Copies of this chain bind each other. A is one copy, B any other.
Amino acid sequence: MSEQNDAMVIAGKRYLSRLLVGTGKYKDMQETRLAIEASGAEIVTVAVRRTNIGQNPDEPNLLDIITPDKYTILPNTAGCYTAEDAVRTCRLARELMDGHDLVKLEVLGDQKTLYPNIVETIKATEILVKDGFKVMVYTNDDPIVAKQLEEMGCVAVMPLGSLIGSGLGILNPHNIKLIMEAANVPILVDAGVGTASDAAIAMEMGCEGVLMNTAIAGARNPILMASAMRKAIEAGREAFLAGRMPRKRYASASSPLEGIIG
Give Cα A250 to B3, complex, Å.
33
Chain B residues with CB under 8 A of A253? 166
Are B112 and A252 in contact (CB-based, < 8 A)? yes
A225-262 vs B, CB cutoff 8 Å, 1 = contact: the mask equals 10111111011111101111111111111000111101
A113-148 vs B, CB cutoff 8 Å, 1 = contact: the mask equals 111111100100000000000000000101111011
Chain B residues with CB under 8 A of A3? 224, 227
Are A248 and B115 in contact (CB-based, < 8 A)? no
Chain B residues with CB under 8 A of A168? 174, 247-248, 257, 260
Chain B residues with CB under 8 A of A227? 3, 238
A259 in complex: contacting residue of B148, B225, B237, B260, CB < 8 Å: B260
Asked if A85 is an interface residue, CB under 8 A from chain B, the answer is: no
Selecting from A63-71, A87-95, A192-200, the interface stretch reads: A192-200
Number of interface residues of A (CB under 8 A): 79
Assembly stoichiometry (copies): 4
Asked if A219 is an interface residue, CB under 8 A from chain B, the answer is: yes
Closest chain B CB from A216 CB (angstroms): 8
Give Cα A240 to B8, complex, Å.
28
Selecting from A10-18, A45-53, A157-165, the interface stretch reads: A157-165
Which residue of chain B is the closest to A117 with respect to CB atoms?
B144
A contact set with B: CB distance below 8 Å? 3, 109-119, 122, 140, 142-145, 147-148, 162-168, 171-172, 174-175, 178, 194-197, 199-201, 204, 214-215, 218-222, 224-225, 227-232, 234-239, 241-253, 257-260, 262
Shortest 5 CB-CB contacts between residues of A and residues of B: A220-B243, A165-B251, A109-B144, A218-B245, A228-B238
Q: Given contact pairs A140-B142, A166-B251, A215-B244, enumerate 10 new A-B contacts (beta carbons under 8 Å).
A: A113-B143, A113-B144, A113-B252, A114-B251, A119-B119, A194-B245, A221-B241, A229-B239, A231-B238, A247-B260
